[in-house]
Chains A and B, each alone.
Chain A
Amino acid sequence: MKIIKDYVDQVFKTVPLTEETNQLRTDILANMEDKYNELIDAGASEHEAIGVVIAEFGNIEELLEEMGISRLSKERREQYPTMEEEGIDYFLQTKGTIGLRIGLGVLSILAGVGGLIALLGLQNFFQAAPLIGLVFLLAFLVVGIALFILEGMRAADLKAYHKPFVLLPDLREHLEEQQKAYKKSLAISIVLGVSLCILSLTPMLLGAMTNLIPVLVGVGLMLILIGTGVVCFTYSGNVYNAYTILLTNGKNPNSFEEEVKAEARRKRIDYIIEEIYWPIIVVIYFAASFLIGGSFWAWSWVIFVLGGALEGTIKSIFDTWDK
């Protein structure tokens, strides 16, 4: 059965993906699979069935010509992949995992440092405490750094998602809904993370103001609590951000070329503003202030406020110009 799917995928590889061609591919594949199943039920061998089904596929050129579809240019095919459901799910899952593990890496390092500090606080109770603390720190440091390196490498695999790609409109709608639904989880996670960070002050305060625990133990516990809070931020933040990345880089197949071009233009405008516009303003600020001198310094900073206001204007002028 997989052979049939591979065959159809291969044939459709150079066909531009639109709602229409996607449905066409789904329909044809469903037909072929039905035919295959029927042949198998009738007692054909797998090879025979596949042979018949593929022979009865016909000629894609005939169909494309009839539908007035021209094949994708080689460039676009190589430069811009098409993300389908599997690819999207993979990205979302991987981003979640990365977020979680980066968070755990931070927690691990904070736990190592916190552990060392806490054990230093216990020095009066048993002598070997600093040594144990050091071993503790090193072990957790290794785990944390290993997590960072591994996840950093994994993130590099996701490069394809940071460039424009083709995303079908119904898949986009689905993603938008999912992101909206995720907003609640994000809010809960942030509240949880912030609460943990605020709560983390309690052990330190307990240590500083009471005799219940040594101050250093309080500080150690605080770091661990903060680390736990960070996990909440990095996990939910990464998942939410994953949706944003997909929705920004995923382009509608019908207007793919224009969208990519428009984005390139926007980037160019940002570049001009950042690399030329703001430096000029800085130069004017210093030049004018030094030349005029004296009390002019007191209010020459206004140029930055004006510059900021003007930046918005310039961008919107470029935008309307684009349209």
Chain B
Amino acid sequence: MISSDVIRGYNDTFLLSLLREGDSYGYALSKEIRDRTDGNYTIKETTMYSAFNRLKKNGFIEAYPGDVTQGKKRTYYRITEEGCHYLSEKKREWALTRQVVDQIVGGEKDENH
């Protein structure tokens, strides 16, 4: 399990990445995050909705009411054009971050030498 402090800055990017693959709603997104990380990271409800709120405010995503499933009218989210731009920017930033951290903290590659 990863601590939520370390990953805090990436929640927005996670959600944007998943929404890039298609519109989705709260539970499906949090389940996807947990499954893809083999249960190493679980996003908390309030963290996720804080992120939704931030992304919405910045115009990176749009919310719309989905169909009623099992009597519940869920909110669905869709990524916007601006959101896509922001995501690719974040992707580049992450590649650089990973490189920098690896170069200093060192990955397993270095220890194997």
Q: Which residues of B contact A30 (CB under 8 A)?
A: 26-27, 72, 74
Q: Which residues of B contact A27 (CB under 8 A)?
A: 25-26, 49, 74-75
Q: Which residues of B contact A66 (CB under 8 A)?
A: 50, 53-54
Report Cα–Cα, A26/B73, bound state, in Å. Answer: 8
Residues of B bordering A, CB below 8 Å: 25-27, 30-31, 42, 44-47, 49-50, 53-54, 72-75
Contact of A284 with B by CB under 8 A: no
Q: Let me know if A63 and B50 touch, CB within 8 A.
A: yes
Prevailing SS type, chain A contact patch: helix
> In chain A, residues 218-272, which have Cβ atoms closer than 8 Å to a Cβ of chain B?
none
Least CB distance, B45 to chain A, in whole angstroms? 5
Please tell me which one of the listed residues A23, A34, A59, A67 contacts residue B44 in the complex, with CB atoms under 8 A apart: A59
Q: Which residues of B contact A31 (CB under 8 A)?
A: 26-27, 30, 45
Least CB distance, A314 to chain B, in whole angstroms? 47
Q: Let me know if B75 and A63 touch, CB within 8 A.
A: no
Q: Let me know if A28 and B49 touch, CB within 8 A.
A: yes
Q: Let me know if B27 and A35 touch, CB within 8 A.
A: yes
Interface string of A54-93 (1 = CB under 8 A from B): 0011111011001100000000000000000000000000
| A24 and B44 in contact, given A31-B30, A35-B27, A66-B54 (Cβ under 8 angstroms) | no
Least CB distance, A31 to chain B, in whole angstroms? 4
Closest 4 CB pairs of A and B: A58-B44, A58-B46, A66-B50, A31-B27
Contact of A32 with B by CB under 8 A: yes
Least CB distance, A74 to chain B, in whole angstroms? 23
Q: Let me know if A58 and B27 touch, CB within 8 A.
A: no
6 extra interface residue pairs, beta carbon distance < 8 Å, beyond A30-B72, A35-B30, A57-B44: A28-B26, A31-B26, A57-B45, A58-B45, A59-B46, A62-B46
Least CB distance, B27 to chain A, in whole angstroms? 4
Q: Which residues of A contact B27 (CB under 8 A)?
A: 30-31, 34-35
Report Cα–Cα, A59/B49, bound state, in Å. Answer: 11
Prevailing SS type, chain B contact patch: helix
Q: Let me know if B44 and A56 touch, CB within 8 A.
A: yes
Report Cα–Cα, A67/B75, bound state, in Å. Answer: 17
Q: Which residues of B contact A67 (CB under 8 A)?
A: 50, 53
The contact sample of 7 A-B pairs, CB cut-off 8 A, is A26-B74, A27-B74, A28-B46, A38-B31, A62-B46, A66-B54, A67-B53
Report Cα–Cα, A63/B44, bound state, in Å. Answer: 11
Q: Let me know if A24 and B49 touch, CB within 8 A.
A: yes
Q: Let me know if B72 and A28 touch, CB within 8 A.
A: no
Least CB distance, A25 to chain B, in whole angstroms? 10
Report Cα–Cα, A23/B65, bound state, in Å. Answer: 10
Residue of B whose beta carbon sits closest to that of A55: B44
Q: Which residues of A contact B47 (CB under 8 A)?
A: 58, 62
The winner among A24, A34, A35 for most chain B CB atoms within 10 A is A34
Q: Which residues of A contact B45 (CB under 8 A)?
A: 28, 31-32, 56-58
| A60 and B46 in contact, given A66-B54, A67-B53 (Cβ under 8 angstroms) | yes
Residue of A whose beta carbon sits closest to that of B56: A67
The winner among A24, A27, A58, A62 for most chain B CB atoms within 10 A is A27
Report Cα–Cα, A30/B26, bound state, in Å. Answer: 9
Q: Which residues of B contact A56 (CB under 8 A)?
A: 42, 44-45
Residue of B whose beta carbon sits closest to that of A38: B31
Least CB distance, A182 to chain B, in whole angstroms? 25
Interface string of A106-135 (1 = CB under 8 A from B): 000000000000000000000000000000
Q: Let me know if A63 and B26 touch, CB within 8 A.
A: no
